[in-house]
Amino acid sequence: MGGCFRRRESINNENQISKIHTQTFFDTNKLLLLGTGESGKTTIIKQMKILHINGFSNEEKLEKIKNIKQNIHESIYDIVFNMNQVNPPTKFNSEEALKAGEYILNIGKEEPVEYTEEYYDNVKTAWADEGVQETFRRSNEFQLIDSAQHFLDQVDIIRKPDYIPTVEDILVCRVMTVQISKIEFSLPVPKKYGGGLANFFLYDVGGQRGQRKQWIKVFDEAIQAILFLIAASDFDLTLREDGAKNRLKESFELFQNIYKNQYLQTSGLIVFLNKQDILEKKIKEGRKLEPAFPEFKNYEPKEKDCNANDYYEKAKYFMRQKIYDIAQKPVVIERAVRGTLVTEELPKRKPYIHFTVATNTKNIKKVFDSVQEIILERTINLL
């Protein structure tokens, strides 16, 4: 008899815990990070950890060394390999650099079994060569991760046995997302919204074409807002998955698909035009938008705060206008009403657009403070 009561008590406790978890889930603001591969989504997750979850422990920093060394090898291998692939091809400027390049190519695309002193010496020799540097400057002609220069410039620091990655090292380190990840954090609510704390779940999913089939798994999670990242610096790059497809065009097309998605019609749309630092750097180096976006030549910014004579300013506002244009197109869906398919035009939604540098903690804090206000305001208005 007593055993029966204990079992009932245990079941009741489990049901109560389940109810608490369910209520917590529905009381939490759920945000979904979307965008193409290498747009900076995982960097935003890292920034939330820095800003709201006490950053990275020493143990976590040490765990990143393996990924950082992988970034070094991927970078130098891709640069050396593509010296013969770019048109016109580039050449090593010394016999010593040529031998270093052959050493790296002989290892292959996969990282070495061991990162020896000989390995680092050859990487340094190759990276210092003017032919390799020229190939690096033409990296828009092939696939190269953004962290290449950051880590190749620091080989002598990273090779030391007592090396501990800095926060910047962790932020720029590239690791491809292949599964759904989630980070949980709380933020203070401004008094004008009632005070207290707001809980957030931030989901990150892989952005390359092969990973996007996972997105539907989180579309039914009552998502309050989509944080859609676009790498503004991708205007002169092509996809890893499809060398004929411009990355920035793919981002705009993907945003259009998300904007039209019937499962996300009640979700706020917040767009980060990311990698503004790289965009500005490329433009200073003389890169142009016109080859991929010929309409840019005749674009006239409407914003009074935009200096139309500044190519970078004009470029970032041009990209913002592209997003606004997508949001102006009508979204028509079909749904069944009493066994009959009817068409319905959905109300237009205004996307909130921010110019961001995901690796800059101050910039992301300022932007996310604004994002939090947008989400809280939308939540209150929907009540």
Find out whether 116 is annotated in a ligand binding site.
no
Statement to judge: residues 336 and 315 lie in one domain = yes
Q: Is 83 annotated as a binding residue?
A: no
Same domain, 160 and 207: no
Calculate helix-pair angle for 130-137, 65-81, nearest 10 degrees.
100
Catalytic annotation present for 138: no
Beta bridge partners of 341: 336
171 is in an annotated binding site: yes
DSSP 74-132: HHHHHHHHTTTTSSS----SSHHHHHHHHHHHHH-SSPPSS--HHHHHHHHHHHHSHHH
Residue 211 predicted with pLDDT over 70: no
Distance between CA 96 and CA 93 in Å, rounded? Answer: 9
CATH number of the domain enclosing 76: 1.10.400.10
Is residue 320 in a domain? yes
Q: What angle do CA 375, 353, 264 make, to 5 degrees?
A: 55
Same domain, yes or no: 137 and 209:
no
- Give the residue from 298, 306, 358, 301 showing the smallest Cα distance to 324: 301
74 belongs to an annotated ligand binding site: no
CA dihedral for 363, 365, 367, 370, sign (positive or negative) = negative
Q: Output the pLDDT for position 91.
A: 97
Known catalytic residue at 379? no
181 annotated among ligand-binding-site residues: no
Q: Are residues 156 and 185 in the same domain?
A: no
- How far apart, in whole angstroms, are the C-alpha atoms of residue 158 and residue 75? 15
The count of C-alpha atoms lying within 13 angstroms of the C-alpha of 183, restricted to the half-sphere facing its C-beta, is 21
Confirm or deny that 251 is annotated as ligand binding. no
Name which of 15-19, 220-224, 256-260, 324-328 the model is least confident about: 15-19
Note whether 46 and 170 are within 8 A (CB): yes
Catalytic residue among 43, 224, 238, 359: 43
pTM of the model: 0.86
Catalytically annotated residue among 36, 38, 135, 224 = 38
Clarify whether residues 155 and 224 are in a common domain. Answer: no
Catalytic residue, from 129, 169, 204, 250: name it. Answer: 204
Q: Known binder of ligand: residue 162?
A: no
Question: Last residue of a domain, which of 129, 164, 199?
Answer: 164
Tell me the average pLDDT across 206-217.
57
Q: What pLDDT score was predicted for residue 349? A: 86
Contacts for 243 with CB less than 8 Å, ≥ 6 apart: none
Q: Is residue 8 part of a domain?
A: no
The segment with the largest mean pLDDT, out of 28-42, 202-216, 233-247, is 233-247
Convert the pLDDT of each residue in 288-316 to its tens digit: 999 999 999 999 998 888 888 999 999 99
317 assigned to some structural domain: yes
- For residues 297, 300, 301, 302, the Cα torsion angle rounded to the nearest 10 degrees is -160
Both 69 and 50 in one domain: the answer is no
Q: Is 38 one of the annotated active-site residues of the chain?
A: yes
Is 207 annotated to bind a ligand? Reply is yes
What residues does 203 pair with on adjacent strands? Answer: 32, 182
| Residue-wise pLDDT tens digits, 314-362 | 999 999 999 999 999 888 877 777 888 888 888 888 899 999 999 999 9
* Total structural domains within the chain: 2
Q: Which of 67-71, 182-186, 197-201 has the highest mean pLDDT?
A: 67-71
φ, ψ of residue 200 to 5 degrees: the values are -130, 140
Both tokens assigned to 215: 């997105």
Q: Is 43 a catalytic residue?
A: yes
The pLDDT assigned to 15 comes to 47
128 annotated as a binding-site residue: no
pLDDT grade, residue 210 (50/70/90)? Answer: low
Residues whose CB is less than 8 angstroms from the CB of residue 173 and which lie 6 or more positions away in sequence, other chains included: 64, 67, 68, 71, 147, 151, 165
Q: Which domain holds residue 40?
A: 28-57+177-382
* Calpha distance 268→163 (Å, rounded): 42
On whether residue 6 sits in a domain, the answer given is no
Q: Is 173 annotated as a binding residue?
A: yes
- Active-site residue identified among 28, 154, 208, 256: 208
pLDDT band at 4 (very low <50, low <70, confident <90, very high): low
Q: What percent of the chain has pLDDT over 90?
A: 60
Annotated binding-site residue? 101: no
Average pLDDT of the segment spanning 118-131 = 98
Residue 93 banded pLDDT, cuts 50, 70, 90:
very high
Catalytic hit among 78, 129, 159, 174: 174
Choosing from 164, 185, 211, the residue where a domain stops is: 164
pLDDT above 60 (res 18): no
**CA-closest candidate to residue 36, choices 256, 224, 184:** 256
State pLDDT tens for residues 51-85.
999 899 999 999 999 999 999 999 999 999 999 99
- 243 in the same domain as 363: yes
